[in-house]
Amino acid sequence: MRGNFRDVRPTGSPSLTPTFFIPLVPPRISRVLIGVNLCVFAATFVYGLLVFGVWNGPMDLRVLYRLGMKSNEAILNGETWRLFTAMFLHIGPIHLISNLIGLYWLGPIIEGHYGHLRFAVIYLLGGLLGSIASYAFSPALSAGASGAVFALLGATIIYFYRYRENMGRQGQSMLQSALVILVINLALGFSVSNVDNWGHIGGLVGGAIVAIGLLPRYRQPAVVRLGMQALAREPRILWSLTWTFVCALLLLAAYQAATNAGPPPLR
């Protein structure tokens, strides 16, 4: 759909010409995910203290392993649930804060435009592909929400690239900012040790793939009047369910291919 529109709720006095805007949904799932990550981080403290008698549970590999960090050997032995649980564990407060900043910034953008359920699908499936990419190409133990955050970054790039002509300077600025952040993060990842770059790349690709199929489409209201008017989001429920199912099958195929290929060798 072409024509200019805004991606915010209307403010100010009515316009003398029809102007359309995208009604954004509140970031409820984003806030829940931030809370879940904080609770899991707190749980690593409690578990470390109660089980191992240490105060640095989030930095203790014994604690992180018990609670579900990514371990290729364990996954090969059937503990596939680690691909999911690793997305909510963090190795120390700096690791947690950096990922929560990304979630705090990108979460409302993607959830606001895609809606609650589509946002959750992008976050979870994109994050899982990040875990699978790490499992396939990195032998190191790892954990963190960064794969899922990169999935949101991929979805942001897809959305604002698709509607770059409609949103004018605001949309182009958002697209440029997302691309700059992507380049900076990838450059830092490859220049700093102990960073799961494959998890980041897998999450980015996964989020972009899922987001392409779940891109919202808009239509003008049946009656166009002067001033600000909300665009209607086409439901596309059947298509969204089908695309989600296809992406889930691709995840399973990627996991099976990685398992058949065997773990990458330690360097």
pLDDT in tens, 39-88: 999 999 999 999 999 999 999 999 999 999 999 999 999 999 999 999 99
Predicted local distance difference test score (pLDDT) of residue 170: 81
Q: Is 200 a catalytic residue?
A: yes
- Average pLDDT of the segment spanning 207-226: 89
Domain CATH for 236: 1.20.1540.10
Q: Is 18 helix (H, G, I), strand (E, B) or coil?
A: strand
- DSSP structure string for 50-103: III--S-GGG-HHHHHHHT-B-HHHHHTT-TTHHHHGGG--SSHHHHHHHHHHH
Q: Is residue 122 part of a domain?
A: yes
Instruction: Return the number of other C-beta atoms located less than 10 Å from residue 12's C-beta.
Output: 6
Of 40 and 266, more confident: 40
- Average pLDDT of the segment spanning 173-190: 89
Please list, in sequence order, all residues whose beta carbon lies within 8 angstroms of the beta carbon of residue 16, skipping any fewer than 6 positions away.
226, 227
Predicted local distance difference test score (pLDDT) of residue 53: 95
Out of 90, 95, 113, 200, pick the active-site residue: 200
Q: What integer best gives the mean pLDDT of the chain?
A: 90
Please list, in sequence order, all residues whose beta carbon lies within 8 angstroms of the beta carbon of residue 102, skipping any fewer than 6 positions away.
146, 149, 152, 153
Q: Is residue 151 part of a domain?
A: yes
Q: Is residue 267 part of a domain?
A: no
Q: Is residue 22 part of a domain?
A: yes
Which range of residues forms the domain containing residue 245? 5-261
- Average pLDDT of the segment spanning 154-169: 90
Q: Which two tokens stand for residue 141?
A: 């133990």
Out of 30, 134, 146, 240, pick the active-site residue: 146
Q: Which two tokens stand for residue 105?
A: 């910034």
Predicted local distance difference test score (pLDDT) of residue 115: 96
Q: Is residue 143 part of a domain?
A: yes
Q: Is residue 138 part of a domain?
A: yes
pLDDT in tens, 111-156: 999 999 999 999 999 999 999 999 999 999 999 999 999 999 999 9
Q: Is 95 a catalytic residue?
A: no
Of 249 and 163, more confident: 249
Predicted local distance difference test score (pLDDT) of residue 266: 64
Whether the pLDDT of residue 21 is over 90: the answer is no
Residues of the chain with pLDDT > 70, as a percent, come to 92
Confidence of residue 166 (pLDDT cuts 50, 70, 90): confident
Confidence of residue 194 (pLDDT cuts 50, 70, 90): confident
Q: Is residue 266 part of a domain?
A: no
Strands (E), the chain: 5-6, 18-21, 218-219, 227-230, 232-233
pTM: 0.90
Q: Is the dihedral of CA 4, 10, 12, 15 positive or negative?
A: positive
- Average pLDDT of the segment spanning 195-220: 95
Tally the domains of the chain.
Answer: 1
Predicted local distance difference test score (pLDDT) of residue 165: 82
Q: Is residue 60 part of a domain?
A: yes
